[in-house]
A = this chain, B = another copy of it.
Amino acid sequence: MPDSLADFQKARADLNDESLGCGHLGIKRFFALDHQAYEPGPLGSKTKELLGLVASAVLRCDDCITYHLVRAAEDGWSRDEVIDALNVALVVGGSITIPHVRRAFGRMREIDGLKPISAAEK
């Protein structure tokens, strides 16, 4: 886990700005469509964030997992619920996902609402 959550978010915002500001309409639209996919519809945003987390985990994308962990906490999912979702990803995706699940546990140490009890008590 080379970067802190704050460093990750700063680098992400910087490069997102550059990606969105590059002048390519297709990329701009894709980012918008990605954002809209998690807005309330037949399913609520809270449910869809968990779908995004599991999709990110089985596709083994650490940055995507970090993003959805933060959003899941904001939407009110508890640590135990997030872990239960990660377990579905682990079984579907197999032991090749273990390093990503491991790093998800590391990331949760930095996210209010998802911290382990010992860390949360501090």
Contact = CB atoms under 8 A, between A and B. Distances in A.
DSSP majority for the A interface? helix
Interface in A51-104: 51-52, 54-56, 58-61, 63-64, 78, 80-81, 83-99, 101-103
A9 interface: no
A16 B90 CA distance: 14
A42 B96 contact: no
Contacts of A38: 88
A47 B89 CA distance: 13
A6 interface: no
Contact of A105 (B1, B15, B30): B15
A64 B96 contact: yes
